[in-house]
Amino acid sequence: LRIVRTVAEMRAVSRGRVGLVPTMGAFHEGHISLMREARKESDLVVCSLFVNPTQFGPNEDFKRYPRNEDRDALMAEEAGVDILFAPSVDEMYNDSSAIVTVPGVSELWEGAQRPGHFDGVATVVCKLLNIASPDVAYFGLKDLQQCAVIRRMVKNLFMPVGLKFCPTLREADGVAMSSRNVYLSAADRSRAPLIHRELERCASIFRSRLTVEQTLKEITQSKAVLADNCFSVNYFALVDTDSMQPRDTPIKGDSIIVAARLGTTRLIDNIQIS
Ligand code: PAF
């Protein structure tokens, strides 16, 4: 595994069929599954490790976001990564004021709860794609709206890269793997599986044809179950998976998305209706 810190060096080493896995580090099996997927399909696997300050709000967890580059480097090497691109904030943002905004798909849900978040994500992903010039970039579907924003950015700006969105990895009890799960207290961790349970419950009902009232009733019930179990629900909603616009009644391919706070930890998850 080679660790690269500068844009110039990254550009110089990028060759053959390149697969890029953009990350903020603190690896878990979800990240590793993206690296393995990239390994299967690429000559050169590049994993970026960059805790991107511009996607965190002023009161969010940028400072305390888990960082352990040595451990991450070992895990990346084991997963078959060739290059770990780990630039400094200065290297990525020195003297830079250009911002990528993807209106519409960025505005609701996470975009409404975390103003500026998706500008930060789109801007850094655009930079990373321009630096590593991958043939394919790999993202996890756990961040469903992020996937929709990146898909729209790449399409609208004619960026010459393929995108692969990979399934969410879950713990045995259904909790979606996330670097932020380490923040959960033991009591909150034991409540966390309820999110996936409610998503599955709604998804199985939403496979049938439902009225607007029936759809709303199930969503309201899930919100109440979560609220009764100490969650503070930001949103629990049925959306069109591509545009992220809300939907009144479900159709196949739609997604149910949720964000809820347990203590000081904000969890997000989603499920697609099959
Ligand atoms: O999903 C993440 O870890 C980040 O949002 C990403 C895509 C690496 C951009 O910083």
Distance from the first to the final alpha carbon of the chain: 39
Catalytic residues: 31
Confidence bin at 7 (pLDDT 50/70/90): very high
CB 270 within 8 A of CB 264: no
Q: What is the pLDDT of residue 109?
A: 98
CA max distance for the chain: 58
DSSP state letters, 176-241: BP-GGGGG--HHHHHHTHHHHHHHHHHHHHTTS---HHHHHHHHHHHHHHHHHTTEEEEEEEEE-T
Closest by Cα among 32, 18, 46, 44 to 78 = 32
Q: What is the pLDDT of residue 38?
A: 98
Provide mean pLDDT across the span 22-41: 98
CA-closest residue to ligand 1 atom 3: 23
Q: What is the pLDDT of residue 24?
A: 98
Alpha-carbon gap, residue 273 to 199, rounded angstroms: 10
- Ligand 1 geometric centre to CA of 25 (Å): 9
pLDDT per residue as tens digits for the range 104-162: 999 999 999 999 999 999 999 999 999 999 999 999 999 999 999 999 999 999 999 99
- Mean per-residue pLDDT of the chain: 97
- Ligand 1 geometric centre to CA of 142 (Å): 11
pLDDT per residue as tens digits for the range 217-244: 999 999 999 999 999 999 999 999 999 9
Alpha-carbon gap, residue 129 to 124, rounded angstroms: 9
| Residue 121 alpha carbon, nearest atom of ligand 1 | 9
Q: Which of 21, 23, 106 for mutating ligand 1's site (highest number of atoms within 8 Å of CB)?
A: 23
Q: What is the dihedral of CA 110, 115, 121, 126, to 10 degrees?
A: 130
- Ligand 1 geometric centre to CA of 228 (Å): 32
- Ligand 1 geometric centre to CA of 236 (Å): 22
pLDDT per residue as tens digits for the range 38-87: 999 999 999 999 999 999 999 999 999 999 999 999 999 999 999 999 99
Q: What is the dihedral of CA 175, 181, 186, 191, to 10 degrees?
A: -40
| Residue 143 alpha carbon, nearest atom of ligand 1 | 1
The values of phi and psi at residue 84, to 5°, are -100, 110
Alpha-carbon gap, residue 142 to 115, rounded angstroms: 20
Confidence bin at 252 (pLDDT 50/70/90): very high
* Count of Cβ atoms closer than 10 Å to residue 191 Cβ: 18
Closest by Cα among 54, 36, 49 to 123 = 54
Confidence bin at 99 (pLDDT 50/70/90): very high
* Count of Cβ atoms closer than 10 Å to residue 108 Cβ: 18
- Ligand 1 geometric centre to CA of 166 (Å): 14
Report residues whose beta carbon is within 6 angstroms of any ligand 1 atom.
22-24, 52, 55, 121, 124-125, 143, 146
Question: What DSSP character marks residue 25?
Answer: S
The total number of residues shown for the chain amounts to 274
| Residue 23 alpha carbon, nearest atom of ligand 1 | 8
Confidence bin at 203 (pLDDT 50/70/90): very high
CA-closest residue to ligand 1 atom 6: 23
